[in-house]
């Protein structure tokens, strides 16, 4: 399914605080899910209005179920970070524009309220553009390798040209608010310096030295001949070991890890270190199964939306056909039976047109709430990235141990 135009407000983010439906008249021992009414299904979205309870999570808890429970808790003792994105403002690009006023962009007011003492204040605001969010995402990905980092919103260049400007800006505002709130919910990233600087310090975020891929590759190419002829040390510095070899400043290390990878796949000897964490392997397999189930559910949802759309179009065409037939019967009527038949067909046509409208509304609500599936699929990309970082780190350890064994 393509991302829907309708945006779910960040206050009802299902990934942060899933809605819980309970029968208010039922006891705790015999509770059951109260079925929605017909009007709720057709017209009313299932939104969670607990906006004041979002982002309230115990920072010492790393258990998923506990964090979801605490995020809905109104306890004043828990640490919270409440982030809102508002007031989009159109500004002129002056730095890289050849023509004054030729390029424009939007900035968003990001307001943070928190009771965490490390932030130094309980409420502060800063203006950011989308480029700053991209920089934040890149720095978090580099500093927190191996973590499940929520994916940032896409730039959506095509949608920015096709959609109405105000609609696109509002959609991006909601997406940015969701993204920042998910970062604030992360038990590690919420304490990161990168997020604190983003939320508090005005001005453009500086890129870290390691994010300039072209510079890293150029330095590696210059250093490689010296390493091969013994003019420079081939020992990997401790601060460089934690970074991936791919795209790094040390091409010799990249070649060594490539050789180690080939030896692991095709060599007859067992690698010096293998993945033996049974809990990790079990969780990895469980996440793989979960991703498959979500993917299957997404395919079924696509079929459901297509079927509802076809049904709505068919009912609309049927209603229009009966309207034309009713008009013909009234114009050519010579007997009372024809007029009675025309009146009956008019009722049928009206019912078909109303049914078509209901199907369109139902389809819009279905697409809106199936957005959660796409968000989970997007989160799976971050999970795969974390698994890839772990595999790269394991390969680095294997390479270093192989070098030690040859000394």
Model pLDDT for residues 119-131, shown as the tens digit of each residue:
888 889 999 989 8
Q: Which domain holds residue 329?
A: 278-383
User: Domain holding 202: CATH number?
Assistant: 3.30.1520.10
Structure tokens at 54: 């979002």
- How does DSSP classify residue 2? P
Q: Give domain status of residue 371, yes or no.
A: yes
Q: Give domain status of residue 66, yes or no.
A: yes
Model pLDDT for residues 356-381, shown as the tens digit of each residue:
999 999 998 888 888 888 888 888 88
Number of domains within the chain: 2
Render the burial of 75-106: b for 16+ CB within 10 Å, e for the rest.
eeebbbbbbbbeeeeeeeeeeeeeeeeeeeee
**Domain-ending residue, one of 210, 236, 254:** 210
Instruction: Say if residue 187 is in the same domain as residue 283.
Output: no
Instruction: Say if residue 179 is in the same domain as residue 283.
Output: no
Could you give the CA distance from residue 39 to residue 47 in angstroms, rounded to a whole number? Answer: 15
Instruction: Say if residue 20 is in the same domain as residue 161.
Output: yes
Q: Phi/psi zone of residue 114: left (φ > 0), alpha (ψ -120 to 50 degrees), beta?
A: beta
Instruction: Say if residue 137 is in the same domain as residue 50.
Output: yes
Instruction: Say if residue 202 is in the same domain as residue 284.
Output: no
* Full-model pTM: 0.61
Closest CA relative to residue 178, chosen from 219, 233, 133, 148 = 133
- The Cβ of residue 136 has, within 10 Å, a number of other Cβ atoms equal to 22
Give strand pairing partners of 124: 112
Instruction: Say if residue 29 is in the same domain as residue 149.
Output: yes
**Domain-ending residue, one of 183, 210, 237:** 210
Instruction: Say if residue 330 is in the same domain as residue 205.
Output: no
Instruction: Say if residue 111 is in the same domain as residue 18.
Output: yes
Q: Which of 115-124, 149-158, 325-334, 376-385 has the lowest mean pLDDT?
A: 149-158
Q: Give domain status of residue 157, yes or no.
A: yes
Model pLDDT for residues 239-268, shown as the tens digit of each residue:
455 555 555 555 555 655 566 566 655 655
DSSP-derived secondary structure for 238-252: HHHHTS-STTSS-HH
Q: Give domain status of residue 122, yes or no.
A: yes
**Domain-ending residue, one of 195, 210, 225:** 210
């Amino acid at each position: 399914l393509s991302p829907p135009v309708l945006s779910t407000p960040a206050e009802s983010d299902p990934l942060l605080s899933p809605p819980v439906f309970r029968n208010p008249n039922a006891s705790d021992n015999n509770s059951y899910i109260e079925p929605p009414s017909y009007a709720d299904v057709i017209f009313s979205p299932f939104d969670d209005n607990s906006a004041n309870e979002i982002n309230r999570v115990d920072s010492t808890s790393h258990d998923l179920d506990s964090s979801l429970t605490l995020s809905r808790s109104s306890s004043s003792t828990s640490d919270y970070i409440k982030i809102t994105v508002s007031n989009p403002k159109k500004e002129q690009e002056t730095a890289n524009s050849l023509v004054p006023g030729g390029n424009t962009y939007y900035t968003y007011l990001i307001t943070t309220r928190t009771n965490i003492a490390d932030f130094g204040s309980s409420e502060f605001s800063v203006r950011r553009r989308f480029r700053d969010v991209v920089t934040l995402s890149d720095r978090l990905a580099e500093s927190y390798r191996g973590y499940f980092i929520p994916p940032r919103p896409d730039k959506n260049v095509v949608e920015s040209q096709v959609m109405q400007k105000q609609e696109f800006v509002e959609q991006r505002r909601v997406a940015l608010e969701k993204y920042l709130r998910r970062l604030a919910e992360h038990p590690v990233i919420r304490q990161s310096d990168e997020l604190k600087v983003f939320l508090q310090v005005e001005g453009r975020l500086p890129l870290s030295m390691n994010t300039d891929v072209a510079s890293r590759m150029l330095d590696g190419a210059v250093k490689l001949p010296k390493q091969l002829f013994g003019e420079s040390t081939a020992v990997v510095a401790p601060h460089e070991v934690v970074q991936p070899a791919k795209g790094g400043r040390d091409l010799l290390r990249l070649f060594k890890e490539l050789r180690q990878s080939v030896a692991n796949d095709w060599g007859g000897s067992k690698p010096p270190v293998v993945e033996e964490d049974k809990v990790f392997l079990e969780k990895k397999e469980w996440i793989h199964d979960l991703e498959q189930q979500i993917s299957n559910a997404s395919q079924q949802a696509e079929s459901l939306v297509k079927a509802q759309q076809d049904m709505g179009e068919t009912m609309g065409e049927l209603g229009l056909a009966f309207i034309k037939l009713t008009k013909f019967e009234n114009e050519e009527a010579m007997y009372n039976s024809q007029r009675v038949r025309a009146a009956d067909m008019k009722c049928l046509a009206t019912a078909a047109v109303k049914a078509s409208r209901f199907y369109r509304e139902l389809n819009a609500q279905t697409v809106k709430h199936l957005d959660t599936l796409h968000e989970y699929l997007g989160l799976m990309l971050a999970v795969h990235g974390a698994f890839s970082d772990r595999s790269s780190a394991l390969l680095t350890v294997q390479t270093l141990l192989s070098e030690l064994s040859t000394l």
